[in-house]
Structure formats: C-alpha cells, structure tokens
Structure 1
Amino acid sequence: MEFQTLQLTQEGRVATVWLNRPDVRNAFDETAIAELTRVFDMLDERTDVRAVVLAAHGQAFCAGADLNWMKKMAGYSHAENLDDAGRLARMLQSIYRCSKPVVARIQGDCYAGGVGLAAACDVVVAGEGVKFCLSETRLGLIPATISPYVVKALGAQASRRFFLTAEIIPAAEAHRLGFVHELAPADALDERVAGIVRALVAASPNAVREAKRLVQDVAGRSIDDALVNDTVVRIADIRASNEGREGIQSFLEKRKPSWCQ
C-alpha cells in the first residue's frame, strides 16, 4: 500500500502509522484524510497486527488543517463543506472504531484537528514539551467534527474553556486533565510507548478488542437494567470464548497463554 502523506511500518505485531508531511508540520488535507481512513480500515482487518501506534515525523505531531486546503475550503458551497466535513468525520471514526488498540505518540505541537487525532486514540503518550491547542475560534470556526472525541477525552468542563478561548494547553495540564495518559521526556518517548505496546500485545487480542468496545459502549450510559443485562451477556460471552477459556486454563496451569507464543 503506497501513500503520499503517510508512512506505514510494522515490527512484529505492532504497526506504526507515521504522519509524513514534516515540511508542513504534518497538517492534513483531503489526501491525508483519505489515506488515514484507508490505512486504519486496512489495519482493522489485519490478523497479524495486534496494536497500532499513530506517530509523526518531524518537529510537530500535527498542526491541524493544511493552509492550501483551508484556502480551497473558503470557496466551498454549503454542500461541498458537508461532503468535506463528512470525510474528516469518517477518518476520525476509522481510528476510534478500529478493533486494534491505538496509541498516540505526540511530540511538538498538536493543534486543532491534531487534537482530534489524539483524542480518537485509546492511549495518549506525550513529550513533556508538547503544546495542545484547540485553535478554531481564532479563525472564526468551531471544533465541531472532532468534538465528540475531544469532549470524551478532555471532559466537558475543560472543553468549555479551551473550545472557547483557544488557549495553549501545556502537556502537563493536558496530563492533569486526563487527556494525556502519560508524560515522558523527549528522549524517553519511544521507550514509554514501547512499554504500553508490550502490555497490549501480551493481552488476549479478543479481550482487548472487546474491552475497547466495552468502554465505548458503557461510557455515559445510565446504570439501568438494560446496561446491567448487557454487561452480564458480555462477560458470559467472553468466558465461553476460546481465548477466555485458554486464558483461565493457562493461569491455572501457570503457563503462558497461546497468544503470547
């Protein structure tokens, strides 16, 4: 699979999707959006991939929208804007709904749509000097398409402030707010990401997939009879699955489960 804006590498069971437009600080345009959608749809189906890292070459993770793309958007009709925003929404959904766990490796600046990319991932590891910014209101816009993911990851109260003010969010503050799972010195960023990836690959692939879906489905729901019954069915299903039985059996026999071999 060839790309103009990305690089795809794989080491063992871990695939890394690299944003590869360092000359424009990895800002995305319609080509990058299409390629990100395509690569995550493909990785979703790959049986030899157990985890995905979303990373970026260069000094910045992602500066948001490409300036030339923004110039074109300025002349779009309402219908063209709907189509364009729909493609961006589909790209974010392809990351969020990917059955493989996705770890964001963030260095440098992460602005606007770049914040959306990070928020769509399952785990966010950022360098200590990273700056996040939801800068849309400075341009007369709003972070609408990325908002479902950012509000879930950042929280409604913090989103109220930073959606409106477009202030810089230092990495330490993003970590305090829970948006960033782990902070790392720049020279330890890859080591921290690798540690998380090792933990993901050591777990049952089916359980990781179902646990990811569990969080997405349960978050924000009322604890009513429907939700309780849903969780009862899920645990019964996973206990009866091949990997569920193998996991328990390997634990009792004090050996590694088959997915670690």
Structure 2
Amino acid sequence: MLPGGMMPITSLAVMIRQTPPQSAISMLNGLPPDRFAAVAEALGPADLARLMLAGKPGSRGRVLQMFADKDVVRASAAVPAVQAAPLLAEVPADRLRRLFPELPEAVRSALLSTLPSERRDDLLGELDAGHAQNVRARMYVAAVTDALRRFNADVRVPENAPEGIMYVAAYHKVVAIAAHLGDDGRTGVPAAENAAYWLRSHAALSITDRPIDPQVRRYCADAREKGRPLTAVTWADERDDGPLKRALASLFS
C-alpha cells in the first residue's frame, strides 16, 4: 500500500502540504477515490493550486482530471487570475463549460482573454445574455487599455469610475476617455464629456467598436471649433491602432 493508505485524513493532508508537488500528486493518485476526495477537501485552496500548477504548461490537464470541479474552482480563486487562466485553458471544453459559471469574475475575464474566439464564444453561451454582454464589455475595455499602452500612454483608471472610464496624462495635459462596446458614439461621447468635467481634463475621447454616427462626428467637430477638444474614434482590434493613436495624439497637440 502506498504511504498514507491508512493514515488519518488530517495527517495525510499535512503530509501532502509538506511534500514536493510532483511527489504529492503521486501519493494522491494512489489513494482510493473516497480517501482522495476527503484529502482534497481537507486541503486549502492554495494547497490545491500548488499541486495543479506544478506541471509544465500543456501537461497539467491530467492533474486537473484527478480533482473534482469544486476543487478546481477553489484552486482558481486562490491564485492570480493570470495564473489560473492558462491552467483552466487545459480543461476539456465540456468540463470547462460546466466550471465557467462558478469561477471568480476576474478568472473568467482572464480566461476569456486567453482562449481562441470559438472557445470564448462557447463559454459565453453558458451565461445569461445580460451577464455575457457585461463580460464582453469588460473585455473590450481591457483591450482598449492594452491598445493605449502599446503607444506608451500612461493610462489610469479613476477611483470609483464607471466602467470604461479612464484617462491619459502627458505633457501636463489630461485626456478623459470613455470606451464603450456596441456604441456608435452616442453613448460614449456624453460619457467622455462627463468624465472630462469631473476629472477637470482639457480634452475628451470616445472609443467605440462601431462606426461613428455622422451626427456625433459633426457634434465633435463643432465642439472643437468652439475650443472644446473632443473626438470619437472607432477601435475594434489591433488593426485600428493607427487611427486610435492619431486621435489621442491630436488631443495633446
């Protein structure tokens, strides 16, 4: 019988914590299913995460198969989302669909950013329409933030700001930014103007993933003629980095 076969569960859990991960996994793998489940229950979330993350990327799926869904969820909550996401990406699609609604929000967002589009859409289908749209909106804001930082922009998010509101500071100037998914500027431009007001910034920029409404373009042009720097730009992915960079630069000129 492998070590721990007759050991009390609490003592075995202590041994697992004190054993290098690969050896601990071998010990667990030799336990009867009922004792394995009891030991996993006795381990803390951080202990479980240590075991699940021990293998090389691409090979950790076999370890995850050993653990119950609830253990995988507990472990995912115990580590930074950027660590949990690539681990969960190794879970088979059917099981991941089952796990996804139970994962912490930050882990879900990081996971969706990690997966290819077809797997991402598959997981979003597990959420209700409103929740799925909220997740997509947060992903869009994160992607816009990454795009701005590719220009070496100093992007900051004000405390208690509404979703999608951020600002960029440079050359002793501040540009308030509103990023909105599924908008043509009619929501984003007022949001950017409001943010500029309470941030006391000198300019405002609306970023959306859809073509800007012609009336919104005229409104922004009229605002600029009156001395209020205001621009709306479409950004859907990296192919739109050029127009976004030019729009931001124009507000600092």
Q: Shorter-chain TM-score category?
A: under 0.3
**Larger Rg over CA atoms:** 2
Alignment TM-score, normalising by the size of structure 1: 0.27
Larger relative contact order (Cα-Cα within 8 Å, sequence gap ≥ 6): 1
Alignment TM-score, normalising by the size of structure 2: 0.27
